[in-house]
């Protein structure tokens, strides 16, 4: 029988020493690339994050200043229209009652022009102040040379008709100046958005280039065993950086304050995706217009990441800009669609509408977005009518305006598709939403209550935005659930 050879007494110790040395070398090789990333990439990412945060903050502040100037311009135009309407009514009827809009508007216009000039100051847009001065001079000339003589000698005489003809010429000049001011402000908003996008894209380009260069250098030095560790680490750093930048964009462009009204309660919640690459494209917005109506919107951009967040800000701004010049939500979406098609190739779903705080009438239009929900205590919730293709996919698309009749205790829920699709079953998701809306009607914060009900067992895998409109203490009590109608 052949005896097996046994290792010598120093074999195990030598083998252990060899393995230990090899492991240490492998460990050093595996750690060297992450250390290089930590030493070079992390500071670059920190600088990039700081630059992007500064760019986003500057863009958000500038967009806010432009919105204030747009609202101020719209107020001046509205007052001038009231002046003209009041004068025409008086000349047509010779009843001084019809002069009330003129009197009210004429008293308010000086302050409105002063506010407009003040709001244009921080924008530094060349001759924009001169355009505002021109509007004010034209209005003053119209009052002095046209309105006062007509009020002193009303009637249908040849002199009166000549004055009216000259007045129309001055009013047309006013409209031309107003249109020029509108074009300047819209162009400034678009330019600011493009600058912000370019700053983010350039920063990411430089950072990614630095990371690639470092990766090649590490490979050139022969750290073969560190490839997998380095790639995983770098990818994680890049994902975290993209998520942080997208979060910064969401923070800059989401509406942090909702308008307040005695009979209308607005609540909202936003839940970012739990997966980094799915952060970016959802928004909600609401603010009070000069005529006391409340504009609301909610939307979702196709795609995710930083690019989707940038497109989201463009779509939201396009709806806001259109809403300042249109009273019909369908027209707002049509103008926003034209703007989005010019600026990006992304598809955007959205709902926008107005709440009349005096009549409590709600008008809205939808563009490929999930339908609103109407909820009421002790009644089953229901989906409201919706129609229209998403924004950004067809030039010249048209939309329909719907009217929702509200009542005491009613609530309208607007949401993005992450609410109903988080468990990959749309029918179950819609049923869960209807039940959550019914249960949340009486809650202090219904948007938060809906969110907690739906995501109690699992966090969302996609961005989620929820906006609720609650109506309380109304005088009219319906006997049955109302039907939403289509505007003719």
The total number of residues written for the chain in this structure: 488
SS3 of residue 250 by DSSP? helix
CATH number for region 255-486: 3.60.40.10
d(CA 134, CA 259): 33
Question: How many Cβ atoms from other residues are within 10 Å of residue 339's Cβ?
Answer: 20
233-264 pLDDT, tens digit per residue, is: 555 554 555 555 545 544 544 555 799 888 89
* Full-model pTM: 0.50
Which residue matches tokens 């009231």? Answer: 82
What tens-digit pLDDT sequence spans the chain (488 residues)? 333 333 344 434 444 444 445 455 555 655 665 666 667 767 777 777 777 777 767 777 888 888 898 898 899 999 899 988 888 888 888 888 888 988 898 899 999 889 988 888 888 777 888 888 999 999 999 999 998 998 888 777 888 888 889 989 998 999 898 898 888 888 888 877 787 777 777 777 766 776 676 677 666 665 555 555 555 555 555 455 555 554 554 454 455 579 988 889 999 999 877 665 555 689 999 989 988 899 999 999 988 777 888 888 889 999 999 998 899 999 999 999 999 998 866 899 999 999 998 888 999 999 999 999 999 988 899 999 999 999 999 999 999 999 998 888 899 999 999 899 877 788 999 999 999 999 999 999 999 999 999 988 777 878 899 999 999 876 544 433 333 334 33
What is the 8-class DSSP label of residue 3? P
pLDDT of residue 436: 96
pLDDT of residue 430: 94
* 200 neighbors 147 (Cβ within 8 angstroms): no
- Closest by alpha carbon to 442, among 478, 464, 471, 466? 471
Tokens in use for 66? 């432009």
List the chain domain ranges: 11-253, 255-486
Instruction: Give the strands of the sheet with 411-415, arranged side by side.
Output: 264-271, 464-471, 411-415, 373-375, 382-383
d(CA 147, CA 261): 38
Q: How much is the mean pLDDT over the chain?
A: 80
Instruction: Transcribe 411-439 into DSSP letters.
Output: EEEEE-TTTTSTTS-HHHHHHHHHHHHHH
pLDDT of residue 33: 58
Find all residues with CB under 8 Å of 332, minimum gap 6, and list them.
Answer: 319, 322, 323, 326, 352, 365
How far are the Cα atoms of 205, 333, 374, 392, 401 from residue 328, in angstroms, in the given order?
Answer: 42, 9, 21, 19, 7
d(CA 250, CA 416): 15
């Amino acid at each position: 029988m052949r005896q097996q050879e046994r290792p010598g007494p120093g074999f195990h110790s030598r083998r252990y020493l060899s393995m230990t040395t090899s492991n240490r070398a492998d460990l050093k090789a595996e750690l060297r690339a992450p250390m290089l990333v930590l030493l070079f990439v992390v500071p670059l990412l920190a600088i990039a994050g700081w630059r992007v945060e500064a760019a986003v903050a500057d863009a958000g502040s500038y967009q806010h200043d432009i919105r204030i100037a747009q609202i101020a311009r719209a107020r001046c135009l509205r007052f001038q229209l009231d002046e003209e309407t009041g004068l025409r009514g008086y000349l047509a009827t010779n009843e001084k009652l019809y002069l009330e809009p003129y009197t009210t508007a004429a008293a308010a216009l000086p302050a409105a022009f002063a506010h407009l000039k003040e709001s244009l100051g921080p924008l530094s847009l060349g001759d924009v102040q001169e355009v505002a001065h021109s509007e004010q001079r034209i209005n003053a000339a119209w009052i002095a040379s046209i309105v006062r003589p007509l009020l002193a000698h009303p009637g249908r005489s040849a002199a009166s008709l000549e004055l009216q003809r000259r007045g129309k010429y001055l009013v047309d000049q006013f409209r031309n100046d107003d249109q020029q001011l509108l074009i300047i402000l819209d162009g400034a908003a678009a330019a600011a958005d493009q600058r912000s996008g370019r700053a983010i894209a350039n920063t990411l380009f430089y950072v990614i280039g630095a990371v690639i260069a470092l990766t090649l250098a590490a490979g050139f030095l022969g750290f073969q065993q560190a490839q997998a560790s380095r790639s995983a680490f770098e990818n994680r750093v890049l994902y975290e950086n993209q998520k942080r930048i997208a979060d910064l964009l969401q923070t800059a462009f989401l509406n942090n304050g909702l308008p307040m009204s005695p009979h209308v309660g607005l609540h909202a919640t936003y839940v970012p995706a739990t997966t980094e690459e799915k952060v970016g494209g959802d928004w909600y917005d609401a603010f009070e217009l000069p005529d006391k109506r409340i504009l609301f919107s909610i939307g979702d951009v196709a795609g995710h990441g930083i690019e989707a967040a940038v497109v989201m800000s463009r779509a939201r701004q396009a709806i806001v800009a259109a809403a300042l010049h249109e009273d019909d939500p369908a027209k707002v979406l049509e103008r926003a669609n034209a703007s989005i098609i010019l600026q990006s190739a992304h598809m955007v779903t959205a709902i926008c509408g107005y709440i009349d705080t005096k009549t409590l009438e709600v008008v809205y239009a939808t563009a490929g977005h999930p339908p609103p929900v109407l909820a009421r205590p002790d009644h089953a919730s229901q989906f409201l009518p919706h129609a229209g293709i998403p924004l950004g996919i067809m030039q010249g698309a048209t939309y329909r305006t719907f009217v929702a009749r509200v009542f005491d205790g009613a609530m309208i829920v607007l949401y993005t598709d992450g609410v109903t699709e988080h468990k990959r079953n749309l029918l179950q998701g819609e049923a869960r939403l209807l039940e959550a809306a019914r249960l949340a009607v009486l809650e202090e914060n219904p948007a938060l209550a809906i969110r907690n009900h739906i995501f109690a067992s699992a966090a969302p895998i996609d961005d989620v935005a929820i906006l609720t409109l609650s109506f309380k203490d109304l005088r009219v009590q319906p006997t049955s659930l109302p039907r939403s109608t289509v505007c003719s």
